[in-house]
Chains A and B, each alone.
Chain A
Amino acid sequence: MAKARDIPGLDARMPFAEAAAATVAVRAEELFEQSENVLDITDIERVHDMRVASRRLRAVLEIYAPCFPMDEFKPILREVKALADALGARRDPDVLLDQLAKLEATLPKANLPGVEAFAAPVHDEQARGNEILAAALDHAERTDLRGRLALLATRAVAPEEPEEVVVEALVVEEPADQEVVAVEDVVAADPVTTVVHTTALANGSDPTGDGAGA
């Protein structure tokens, strides 16, 4: 299991909102970095790593929930939960089949038909789980969940920053159907979030960073 990456600059005395921005940005990147070959059922560790990353992301979203605009936060949290559930639909049968394989190696041969009888429907579940996961990954790709998470990270509310009004103005001026906004556009238009955003972009520029985990 991949260790969680350190959050650069995280400090006990920093504002909660700033910590939210930095942490969500890193955990979101970690999730998508683990998505490679996740549908390969011959290597069950891939889906395990991505599931762990999804749990970590979901956890930090829930911890830092009060820092984000609810209208943007809630649908994204729902989608992250749905993706985590899809990963679980694949992972649960993976784990059970792995346990059964270990049992088969331990038990006398006379017991093997029973273990196999139990494993047969679990294989079907694994195949169904893979289909569910494939659909969830496709949905995440089509809806640019990664980009929206990166954007959400920049939206952490930081009341002590100046020009809070600018944030409100920015929200009002957005076209109703413009759900996905380029991160760079937001930085340019929104000085309030520029500080935390710079951190997020710096993290994004080093997606293979290997900071020791927490």
Chain B
Amino acid sequence: MKARKVRGLEPEGTLADNAERIVRVRLDELQSFIPRALDPTEVVALHDMRIAAKRLRYVLEVTAETCFGPYAETALKRTKDLQDLLGEIHDCDVQLPRVLERLEELRAADARTARMRAPANADDLDPRFATRTANARAWRGLETLAVYLQARRELLYQRFLEMWTRLERDGFRARLQYAASERVGGVNSVTGPSQDGNRDARRVAIASPAALR
């Protein structure tokens, strides 16, 4: 998934103002996969949402502590958790077809074996020829693996829905937008610090140029 272009970045501008612009775009990008990703069959949307979470995470890793209000660091943890969970779901989405493909390969090989066991002039196949084939024991494990991956995917997706609901309920997006407009070590206090900001006296909320635009 190609990242959305961040417009208006200025090398001569401050790190915090530029970082705020990037965070806002990456946050919108993440949000853009809702409601599509709330459908468990939207495998591509879920994968792209993971990439979007990763991009937001990385910009926050570089800037949260240095530039923004305290909620940015909380948002970094939440974003990482989201990315990790979506990554686990993606692993299931990738692995399950591979397991089924391997199962099909082995089943086809055993079917060939069973066919070859039959006499050339046989009118029909004796079912016993399909037993004790080379890969019979492997199927069982692969079936178990497939069941495991499918069930795990369902469980993890449920966790994702819960996590996203929690993020929305906690105002993740609005709070991160606000935190991105706060400045570490700012001088002029135009707005009050967010609730989370009370625990760190160094952080002073100011309205950043990007927030005012």
The interface of chain A, by Cβ under 8 A from chain B, is 4, 7, 10-20, 23, 55-56, 59-60, 62-63, 66-67, 95-96, 99, 103, 107, 110-118, 121, 156-160, 214
Residues of B within 8 A of A (CB): 3, 9-19, 22, 55, 58-59, 61-62, 64-68, 91, 95, 98-99, 102, 106, 135, 137-145, 148, 183-185
Partner of A14, one of B15, B135, B140, B144: B15
Do residues A112 and B11 form an inter-chain contact, with CB atoms below 8 A? no
Nearest chain B CB to A214 CB, angstrom units:
5
Asked whether A15 lies within 8 Å of B12 as measured between CB atoms, the reply is yes
Known: A10-B66, A117-B102, A117-B138. A111 touches B15 (CB 8 A): no
Q: Is the interface of B mostly helix, strand, loop or mixed?
A: helix
Determine chain A's interface SS by DSSP, over half rule.
helix
Q: Is the CB of B148 within 8 A of A14?
A: no
Known: A111-B144, A114-B140. A121 touches B13 (CB 8 A): no
In angstroms, Cα B55 to Cα A60, docked, is: 10
25 A–B pairs (Cβ distance < 8 Å), ordered by A = A11-B66, A12-B14, A13-B183, A16-B10, A59-B59, A59-B62, A63-B58, A63-B59, A66-B9, A66-B10, A66-B11, A95-B91, A110-B140, A111-B141, A111-B145, A114-B144, A117-B102, A117-B141, A117-B142, A118-B145, A156-B11, A158-B12, A160-B12, A214-B64, A214-B65
Indicate whether A110 sits within 8 Å of B58 (C-beta atoms), given known contacts A12-B14, A12-B15, A160-B12: no
- Interface residue from A4, A13, A114 paired with B61 (Cβ < 8 Å): A4
Residues of B within 8 Å of A113, CB to CB, are 137-138, 140-141
In the complex, besides A12-B67, A158-B12, 9 extra interface pairs with C-beta distance below 8 angstroms are A12-B16, A12-B68, A12-B184, A16-B9, A56-B58, A111-B140, A112-B141, A115-B145, A117-B138
Task: Tell which of A10, A115, A160 touches B141, judged by Cβ atoms closer than 8 Å.
Answer: A115
Residue of B nearest to A95 (CB): B91
In this complex, the member of B10, B135, B141 whose beta carbon has the largest number of chain A beta carbons within 10 angstroms is: B141
A7 to B144, CA, bound (A): 48
Contact residues in B for A112 (Cβ distance below 8 Å)? 141
Q: Which residues from B are CB-within-8-Å of A160?
A: 12
CB distance from B98 to the nearest CB of A (A): 7
B15 to A: closest C-beta gap in Å:
4
Which of B15, B59, B61, B137 is most buried by chain A, counting CB atoms within 10 A of its CB? B15
Contact pick for B14, options A13, A118, A214, CB 8 Å: A13
User: Whole-angstrom distance from the CB of A20 to the nearest CB of chain B?
Assistant: 7
With A16-B18, A214-B61 as given contacts, are A114 and B11 in contact (CB-CB < 8 Å)? no
* A9 to B: closest C-beta gap in Å: 10
